[in-house]
Amino acid sequence: MLGGKAKDQRENHKTEMFDIYAHNLKIQVTLNANITVGNGHRLFEENDMARIKQIIFSDFFDTLTNGALVLFAYWYIYKVTRDQSYISLLGLISMIATLFTFVGGYLSDKVNKIYLLKTVVGIRVLNTILGLAIYHLFDYPILSVMVTVVINSILNIVYSPLTESIVPSIVHGKEDLITANSWVSIANQLSSVLSAGLSAIFIFFGNVSIGLVLSLVLYVLSYLLITRLSIEAKAGKKVDVTSLVAKDTNKFLIGMKIIRKNFLISVIVPVALVTNFCFWTVWLLMPKLSIDVFSGFTYMYNSIDLSFTVGSILGAFAVNVKHKGKKIFTARNFPYFLLLQGVMILLIGLFSLQHREVFGIVGVVISWLGYGICNSIGSILYFSTVQLSVPSNHIGMVIGAILTIFSLANPIAAITSAPLSHITTTPIIIFLLGTVMMLASVPVFFKKIRIQLSQE
């Protein structure tokens, strides 16, 4: 919640960060999966296991490459143009695309999943070749990398829900699914961390052509890993998209009604909108901050992304820590983690005022690590509380409505980051946005809310 990155933004990041709930849920599955395999017992049929491994490895290289290419694109475009408008445009397209992932979900139900996966990854390969062609034929590196990243964002409309649903379509049985999901989660976290390292290699060369060639090699590898997958599973059932959209809209409206009646949820909505807006504005200013303020440290942007990712993973582990048999962090701690997110953003602004000093660089990186931890713990605590405060048969509708509402602030942040960058210096903007985030958390400390949180 409150400032998570979505897969195509951290990969941008699986991770969605508005996708932070699903992202943290995956981590929880990994942490809680304690499967013992006895002699002679196989969790999967050999054929299923082989198919799943191929899909996971393919997704690993795809996510790794996407993340590195997006980071490199943001860094390169701003370094060459020094124009925040390009970054805002890329962020806006990516965020709008995320809002349409339900279309990809319908498509993945309608078309054979293996066939669709091969098609999407194959198009990524062709898309990268197109980027290289634009670069070499027209000598326009910015256009080539922008076209590649934008088309990849559009492909993620299908790819993201497809990769979420393809393993359950192969695996049958609760234990098997938990184990498979834990593998997927480990691969996702590893690819998110390594993407920062791969983007550092791209930045080291500082050349779009080299970046696209390396991306092409990895995309081809991703495609080759699934080329031998047989399309033997039954084609997806026929889906009436119009009917599904109507049904989905109806579920959203039902979720909205429940949200309005649930005090604990409704009071958080405006807070989340403000917090998400501030976070995304700050995040889209990171290429500018890294290049304008910390120009002496070439890999500042990579370090920031890596720090945030590691913090998110550490936070998911920390939320499970127990003392004397009881979890240390509970719903009543949520307001503090919400406040701390604002504090961390404020500190990023303060440390940025140190400019090229080592103290400033280390301070910003540590602050992003802290933000990732606080954001991860806060998100898990909040959504766990939501799950407990609504009827079990309405959880899906309510979570869906909440995530949709939270994500509405993100495109606005993308549009706003460019004009804000002309008002004052980037560190001051970040400092002010951190202050706004802290002030936005104040209502959550009201006695009525804290009492209700303590009861969940």
Between CA 141 and CA 56 the distance in angstroms is 32
Structure tokens at 389: 């405060």
Between CA 409 and CA 319 the distance in angstroms is 27
Between CA 411 and CA 98 the distance in angstroms is 10
Tell me which residue of 248, 194, 185, 244 sits closest to 396, measured CA to CA: 248
Q: Are 195 and 301 in contact (CB under 8 A)?
A: no
Which amino acid appears at position 210 of this protein?
Answer: I
Using the Cα atoms of residue 78, residue 413, residue 153 and residue 307 in order, give the sign of their dihedral: positive
Find the angle CA(249)-CA(100)-CA(84) to the nearest 5 degrees: 135
Question: Which DSSP state fits 5?
Answer: P
Question: Which DSSP state fits 291?
Answer: I
Say what the pLDDT of residue 402 is. 79
Between CA 211 and CA 217 the distance in angstroms is 10
Full-model pTM: 0.85
Q: What CATH architecture applies to the domain 43-238?
A: Up-down Bundle (1.20)
Task: Please identify which residue in the block is written with the tokens 């560190």.
Answer: 427
Q: How many residues does the chain have?
A: 456
Between CA 128 and CA 148 the distance in angstroms is 6
Q: Residue 91: CB partners within 8 Å, gap ≥ 6? A: 9, 280, 284, 413, 414, 417
SS3 327: strand
Between CA 338 and CA 437 the distance in angstroms is 8
CA 101 to chain centre: 13
Structure tokens at 164: 């979420």
Tell me which residue of 162, 163, 130, 136 sits closest to 149, measured CA to CA: 130
Say what the pLDDT of residue 382 is. 86
Tell me which residue of 272, 312, 373 sits closest to 7, measured CA to CA: 312
Terminal C-alpha separation, the chain: 18
Between CA 348 and CA 357 the distance in angstroms is 14
Alpha-helical (H) ranges within 353-392 are 358-389
Using the Cα atoms of residue 61, residue 64, residue 67 and residue 69 in order, give the sign of their dihedral: negative
Distances (CA, A) of 433 to 49, 264, 350, 418: 47, 25, 12, 15
Q: What is the Rg, in whole angstroms, of the alpha carbon atoms belonging to the chain? A: 22
Which residues of the chain does CATH 1.20.1250.20 include?
Answer: 43-238, 240-456
Half-sphere exposure of residue 60, counting CA atoms within 13 Å on the CB side?
19
Q: What share of the chain is helix, strand, coil (3-state, %, to 5)?
A: 80, 0, 20
Number of separate helices (H) and strands (E) present in the chain: 20, 2
Structure tokens at 424: 């004052």
Q: Are 196 and 69 in contact (CB under 8 A)?
A: no
Half-sphere exposure of residue 103, counting CA atoms within 13 Å on the CB side?
10
Structure tokens at 262: 């649930």
Task: Please identify which residue in the block is written with the tokens 């998209």.
Answer: 241
CATH fold of the domain at 240-456: Growth Hormone; Chain: A; (1.20.1250)
SS3 236: coil
Between CA 291 and CA 211 the distance in angstroms is 19
Structure tokens at 377: 């713990």
Distances (CA, A) of 237 to 104, 107, 160, 240: 15, 10, 19, 10
Structure tokens at 336: 């503090």
Residues of the chain with pLDDT under 70: 1-47, 172-178, 232-249, 251-252, 323-324, 355-356, 392-393, 396, 455-456
Q: Are 181 and 29 in contact (CB under 8 A)?
A: yes
Q: Are 421 and 84 in contact (CB under 8 A)?
A: yes
Distances (CA, A) of 125 to 7, 93, 201: 19, 21, 20
